[in-house]
Amino acid sequence: MLRLFFLVWLFFSVSLKAFESSLEAKIKVSGAVSDLVFQKGKLFVATERSKVDIIDLEKKQIIKSIEYPYFEDFMGDLQPAKVFSADVSPNGKLLIATIQGTRGSREVYILDLTKDETPKKIISRKEHLPINKVRFVTDTKVVFGLSGDEIILYDLENKKIIYRISVGMSFFSDMALDNDRKILAVVDESGDTHIVDVEKGKVIRNLEEMNKDKAFSVDIKNRVVMSGGRDKKASVFDLKTNTKKEFLSKDFMVFSVGLSPEGKIGAYLYNDKYDIAVVDIPSEKKLGFLKGHISTPSRILFTSQNHIIIGCDNKDIYIWRIEK
């Protein structure tokens, strides 16, 4: 009997220690978080208040804020512009951002981070490109995601469009590049996930009904795709093994998802208390929860296998450390 008690105690002790989390920092940024990018020890936070805040993750503080022009609303008044998306070039020198413009338009600005200058407009509202998201493919080429479910590969040096393709028939929601920047995952209102060969400009695969309804968020790491949607689940598809797995929320829409660099650990919005579920994808087990967020987590970003950044609608950035 004593031995049985010891084995039971040992089992639960190991289970409890299987997942540990600690909040390393909570940082207030300029506005609601719309995008997160990690590059060379710095976190770039796109906000809905005309700014991209740059956080030094070692110091755990904002070291610089890049400000963009206000836009003119329909009443003719100036308002802070939403920074829909931002990214940093692989060499860490350039910051690109897509900004809310006058009359519902979009504008794109680029900034050389090595120089003391202001952002330069490279795409104006007059070009009528409804750009929702931007990601660097190389130091000189970026991919744009347009609201009409289109993808553009753009040459920054020559200021021209290399190709413009349609990936689906719905309204664009989100996109993510894999680690090697060769494969792009795109989700939209259909719930399907579209896989694009960035160099060829070709949809190479459609993962139908990854979500049964509108998908809000997508990530891809090491050819593993994770999406979250209105159907209250986070779906995972491994492009290498052609296997699909599903992780349910607690009766709440999955507005945000994120994957570790190896694609083995996933995180997603779990419930209306804004808890984040952390799961082991190969075993399909929930490892634990990140708790204490007081507003909707709009972005989840793994900066390493053990660090997760959560960006929220109330201007808060949470820096979590996890141990599996």
Chain center to CA of 220: 10
Q: Would you place residue 204 in the very low, low, confident or very high pLDDT band (cuts 50, 70, 90)?
A: very high
Q: What is the pLDDT of residues 5-50, one digit of tens each?
A: 444 444 444 444 568 999 999 999 999 999 999 999 999 999 999 9
Q: What is the pLDDT of residues 275-308, one digit of tens each?
A: 999 999 999 999 999 999 999 999 999 999 999 9
pLDDT for 74 equals: 79
pLDDT for 47 equals: 98
On whether the CB atoms of residues 99 and 144 are closer than 8 A, the answer is no
Name beta bridge partners: 259.
266
Sequence-distant (6+) residues with CB within 8 A of 299 are: 33, 34, 35, 36, 256, 258, 309, 310, 311
Report percent pLDDT > 70 for the chain. 94
In this structure, what is the dihedral angle of CA atoms 304, 308, 309, 314, given to the nearest 10 degrees? 170
Sheet holding 42-47: strands in order across?
A: 33-39, 42-47, 51-56, 61-67
pLDDT for 72 equals: 86
Question: In this structure, what token pair is assigned to residue 214?
Answer: 């509108």
**Mean per-residue pLDDT, 109-136:** 96
Q: What is the pLDDT of residues 180-198, one digit of tens each?
A: 999 999 999 999 999 999 9
- For 66-99, give the DSSP string: EE---EE-TTS-EEPPPEEEEEE-TTS-EEEEEE
How many CB atoms are closer than 10 A to CB 145?
28
pTM tops 0.85: yes
